Amino acid sequence: MEKAMILVSVLLLGWTWTLQGVPVDGDQVEPSVALADVEDATLLKAPLFNATEVCEQTPEIGPCEAYFPRYFYNSSSMSCQLFTYGGCGGNQNNFKTEKECMQKCPEEVCEQTPEIGPCHAIIPRYFYNSSSMSCQLFTYGGCGGNQNNFKTEKECMQRCPEDVCEQTPEIGPCDATIPRYFYYSPSMSCQLFTYGGCGGNQNNFKTEKKCMQRCHTDEVCEQTPEIGPCHAIIPRYFYNSSSMSCQLFTYGGCGGNQNNFKTEKKCMQRCPEEVCEQTPEIGPCDATIPRYFYNSPSMSCQLFTYGGCGGNQNNFKTEKKCMQRCHTDEVCEQTPEIGRCHAAIPRYFYNSSSVSCQLFTYGGCGGNQNNFKTEKKCMQRCHTDEVCEQTPEIGPCHAAIPRYFYNSSSMSCQRFTYGGCGGNQNNFKTEKECVQKCPEDVCEQTPKIGPCHATIPRYFYNSPSMSCQLVIYGGCGGNQNNFKTEKECMQRCHINEVCEQTPKTGPCRAYVQQMSLNKKSSQSQSVWTVQVHFWGIQTEIQSRRTCFLKENWVG
């Protein structure tokens, strides 16, 4: 009888060991026992796949010399890559297909939902919560699970930093030339860079789309705050795009979205309140990329050349995006919105009908941008009178751009040459825009109650009687001949005090024929007075009424 050798599998501590040299009678050699051939697999268990450990392993060819194409997970590049397997030995970071590799070791480790696994141990571990952008404790069962499983908070933070989008892109130590995208927060854009193929950090995306989905500020700052499915009571901040401010909310501890910040400071850094007030910055790089910035003095979006890196958030790809975010008229014309929440927060909105900033109760979330913390901020952003009273400013630049400004003395929109930057808000692209913002004769308008049904006492100027009279205002709509007090009305429209003044020629030496009122005869008479010629303003007064309305022409 010939001696044969049989392979006997022995289960020891969950690992399959192979023993050789057990003689049996017979003419054939028994084949090796495989798990797939064993009906009762309860006695023969393969080692459980621990993604946390396996996907971090370096690929091993093994001692044999076969040439099998296999895939391993490269934790540095966060991708599955091909290698040649020798056919025996090695480790578990070894997959027959790329699909199998991706299923076991998915790219987005930090996006995975934490898994306890099938075992019942009680092991404290950390997982990265992509919604709150923080590492949190959970109880791990001891086997199975996925890669979003770290022994310490430090390991978790190294792998999944709180703000991936703020990291500086890293090429890594390898020499490949792989096109990848990184998020550049100063320009709020995803930019191409060459990745070496290993190492680096997580600000590294295969496509521009994935990069923008993860990091783009507008998307994050526009998100509605989400408590999430858990029931913890964690104070967090979210950016309220309607009120343009960072506000406190209670986070449940899991789930939610990226509009979730640990501190108000971090929230403001990511979603600054006054983007539209920032001075445009070219940045330190030397590219020539056309971008738009909002020029708050001229209330317009203007082209500038962006260097490609650095800068700030007043930087938009298109004029349309810039106007949607910042244009004053659109904001100040919006109807105030309480929003869907039920807080009672005092805020101000601009009422374009009454030309004033008024108090309303804000619910705390949602709503729109016609929502200001203080009356002062509201008036600075929207109040027409202040804009229309401003002296036109050329600004520090040297372009020669034709613009219109409102001349409050002549109550007309006139042309001037704008330098192209700086200046103030009394600056309009067209005469039509100027007239819409600063109507030529508010005091001549017929008073309008408006479509609403409130009973608010207001004053309007009655030009035939040259007096301010009471009117009941409905609360919305109407026009600008609408004043809170009789005093405001008289200051704006009443002309007796002006017309009683003695005309003065003033200190300048120009000679411009103007008109004054001779009270005794109640007729307009010619008088040589002075008007500054710097802006090319030469107004001819042709009627007694026009004379009455010239509040500031006297020298």
Counting beta carbons within 10 angstroms of the beta carbon of residue 341, is it exposed (0 to 12), middle (13 to 18) or buried (19 or more)? middle
The answer to whether domain 443-494 has CATH 4.10.410.10 is: yes
CATH number of the structural domain 388-440? 4.10.410.10
Instruction: Determine the pLDDT at residue 85.
Output: 94
Per the CB < 8 A criterion, the answer to whether 351 and 401 are in contact is no
Integer Cα distance of 513 and 538 in angstroms: 9
How distant, in Å, are the alpha carbons of 83, 178, 393 from that of 204? 23, 11, 46
Integer Cα distance of 286 and 299 in angstroms: 28
Counting beta carbons within 10 angstroms of the beta carbon of residue 270, is it exposed (0 to 12), middle (13 to 18) or buried (19 or more)? buried
Q: Identical fold at 52-107 and 443-494?
A: yes
The DSSP-derived string for 474-506 is -SSS--S--BSSHHHHHHHH--HHHHTSPP---
Residue type, 81: Q
Integer Cα distance of 522 and 532 in angstroms: 27
Domain boundaries, the chain: 4-37, 52-107, 108-162, 388-440, 443-494, 498-549
For the segment(s) 108-162, the CATH number from 1.20.120.920, 3.40.50.970, 3.50.50.60, 4.10.410.10 is 4.10.410.10
Per the CB < 8 A criterion, the answer to whether 265 and 236 are in contact is no
Q: What is the pLDDT of residues 24-68, one digit of tens each?
A: 344 443 333 333 333 333 333 445 556 667 887 889 999 999 999
Would you identify the CATH topology of the domain 52-107?
Answer: Factor Xa Inhibitor (4.10.410)
Question: Low-confidence residues of the chain, pLDDT below 50?
Answer: 1-46, 497, 519-555
Instruction: Determine the pLDDT at residue 525.
Output: 46
List phi, psi (to 5°) of 220: -65, -50
